[in-house]
Structure 1
Amino acid sequence: MRRWLTLLATTLLLTGMPVTAHAATVTQIARWEMNEPGGSTRMSDSSGNGLDGQIGGEVRIGGSINGSTAYRFDRLEPDTPPTHPGHLVVVPANPALDPGDRNFAVTLRLRTTEHFGNIIQKGQSTTPGGNFKLQIPNGRVGCYFRGSRGVLQAIARDPINDGAWHVVTCVRVSTGVALAIDGQRVAGRQGWTGPINNSWPITIGGKIDCDQNEVGCDYFAGDIDQVIIETAGAAW
């Protein structure tokens, strides 16, 4: 599958070492197609693992956007009260969604013309057990993992807030983190974050614990039409 090939290629380019396809088995943890009809309140997980999410009342769903059925997250002024919890899609906490010490990849398809916001995350910067997120400050995608051993980020050099659809893959392995956009590696950092496990939900569209004063909610503005989470064994 293309996602598996992207995962392998990204890891190879990050480490500079050969990687063989039989070194680990990829497991799909969650697959959210985000193609529910208007009026739906549940984001369905088509992986078969039952990791459904709750769609906030402010998320626009069921519309055709540049040829794709997607969720639309309207623009909200950064760091400006009040909070908008209805802007989020929330998937309840589940250990399967934690990277732990596994190779871990998040792939999503998005489009935006804005230059800020957290796209998807599990936990926040002070969450016990660590956290991960994809964000898009200045229109440049950033891939962030914080574990017991430290923080690693891979940040794209070029912005993608051009209004076109883009596929983004964010990978954490034992040798570092890497970011691929439209099948091409664009950034990577070597190192080991340590395990990441927390009791927080996954949120799509921004932070769940924020007040827009002391802690900004970093609401994403744009469209998302698919999110996939995959893992592999602890060693390639």
Structure 2
Amino acid sequence: MRKRRLWIVALAATLAAAPVGGTPARADGGLVAYWAMNEEPGSRYMYDSSGNGLHGNIGTEVVTGRSYGDGLGYGFGRLQPDTPPTHPQHLVGVADYAALDPDDRDYSVSLRIRTIYQFGNVVQKGQATAAGGSFKIQIPSGKVQCWFRGSAGQVLVTGPKPINDGNWHTVTCTRYGSGVALAIDGVMAASKAGPTGMISNAWPLSIGGKPSCDQVSVGCDYFAGDLDWVRIDAAGHDW
């Protein structure tokens, strides 16, 4: 257990200390995917810089090549919650690769985010009732939540303070064998014990909201704000 917690803290600290707007250094464990989000304006293809080839498609409503003064990133406009029509072009999608499933590994999703809004699903693979389980990072009331659901149960962890202050924050959500942990700006912010088991589904990875929704019976929970990069690591996984 101690070794796993040390990995979580070390990963979060490494990412928080990375050069602003640059590529985070690789931490202990295996880098599964790294989307630097530094494509030029108008790009519709998101490149995975990890070397693993897990590239994605960028919806036409996503603003690419947005300059933050220290690099480029993506911008997601605000959409009215639970109000039709749906906006599938608001999303960035990565096809269902087996490598993106947590399976039964220690598994971490990290990102650099800036927003003034208080809702939205930022990153997810699968939804609430998806066969095989699911995970997501969301920000209800501006507070980061890490949610993992698998064969052994589900665990939800909520950050203690809102981060929708218009400043950049680095967030790391980690699922390990006996719980889930959340780190914000390199500091452990919250954790909760509880097994989740195997998580492996046939859904794409979605950035910016739900891929399957109608804004009536199922809200799309579209994210509004800026993203600088998104990264996935799996402890002990050697590419």
**With structure 1 as the length reference, what TM-score do the two structures score?**
0.89
> Is the Cα contact below 8 Å between 1:73 and 1:220 reproduced in 2?
yes
CA shift for structure 1 position 185: 0.7
Where does residue 3 of structure 2 map in the other structure?
Answer: none
Where does residue 64 of structure 1 map in the other structure?
Answer: 67
Whole-Å Cα distance in 2 between the matches of residues 173 and 27 of structure 1?
Answer: 14
> Is the Cα contact below 8 Å between 1:7 and 1:171 reproduced in 2?
no
Where does residue 112 of structure 2 map in the other structure?
Answer: 109
CA shift for structure 1 position 4: 5.5
CA shift for structure 1 position 65: 2.4
- Pick the aligned partner of 2:123 from 99, 114, 120: 120
Q: Is 1:220 aligned with 2:223? A: yes
Whole-Å Cα distance in 1 between the matches of residues 117 and 132 of structure 2?
Answer: 31
Whole-Å Cα distance in 1 between the matches of residues 83 and 8 of structure 2?
Answer: 41
> Is the Cα contact below 8 Å between 1:180 and 1:186 reproduced in 2?
yes
Provide Cα deviations, 1:178-203, integer angstroms capped at 9, x if missing partner: 00000011111111101100000000
CA shift for structure 1 position 232: 1.3
CA shift for structure 1 position 69: 1.1
- Pick the aligned partner of 1:207 from 171, 194, 210: 210
Amino acid at match of 1:80: T
Q: Is 1:187 aligned with 2:156? A: no
- Indicate the larger mover: 66-75 or 209-218: 66-75
Whole-Å Cα distance in 2 between the matches of residues 199 and 229 of structure 1?
Answer: 18
CA shift for structure 1 position 8: 6.1
User: What is the correspondence of 1:6-21 to structure 2 with a 5 Å cutoff?
Assistant: 6-7=9-10
Where does residue 20 of structure 1 map in the other structure?
Answer: none
> Would you say how many aligned residue pairs link Structure 1 and Structure 2?
219
SS at the partner of 1:86?
Answer: helix
In angstroms, what is the RMSD of aligned CA positions? 1.8
Where does residue 150 of structure 1 map in the other structure?
Answer: 153
Amino acid at match of 1:39: G
Whole-Å Cα distance in 2 between the matches of residues 222 and 85 of structure 1?
Answer: 17
Whole-Å Cα distance in 2 between the matches of residues 47 and 210 of structure 1?
Answer: 30
**With structure 2 as the length reference, what TM-score do the two structures score?**
0.88
Q: Is 1:53 aligned with 2:56? A: yes
Whole-Å Cα distance in 1 between the matches of residues 187 and 202 of structure 2?
Answer: 33
CA shift for structure 1 position 67: 3.2
SS at the partner of 1:138?
Answer: helix
Amino acid at match of 2:222: Y
Question: Closer, same or farther in 2 for the Cα pair 1:185/1:230, shift >3 Å?
Answer: same
- Runs of 4+ with >4 A deviation: 7-10
Q: Is 1:232 aligned with 2:225? A: no
- Pick the aligned partner of 1:197 from 192, 197, 200: 200
Provide Cα deviations, 1:69-119, integer angstroms capped at 9, x if missing partner: 110000000000000000000000011000000000001000000000000
> Is the Cα contact below 8 Å between 1:7 and 1:105 reproduced in 2?
no
Whole-Å Cα distance in 2 between the matches of residues 85 and 8 of structure 1?
Answer: 32
- Pick the aligned partner of 1:94 from 93, 97, 100: 97
Question: Closer, same or farther in 2 for the Cα pair 1:107/1:121, shift >3 Å?
Answer: same
Provide Cα deviations, 1:40-63, integer angstroms capped at 9, x if missing partner: 110000000000000000000101
Q: Unaligned regions of 5+ residues in structure 1, if any?
A: 11-24
Q: Is 1:133 aligned with 2:136? A: yes
Q: Unaligned regions of 5+ residues in structure 2, if any?
A: 1-5, 14-27
> Is the Cα contact below 8 Å between 1:107 and 1:168 reproduced in 2?
yes
> Is the Cα contact below 8 Å between 1:122 and 1:200 reproduced in 2?
yes
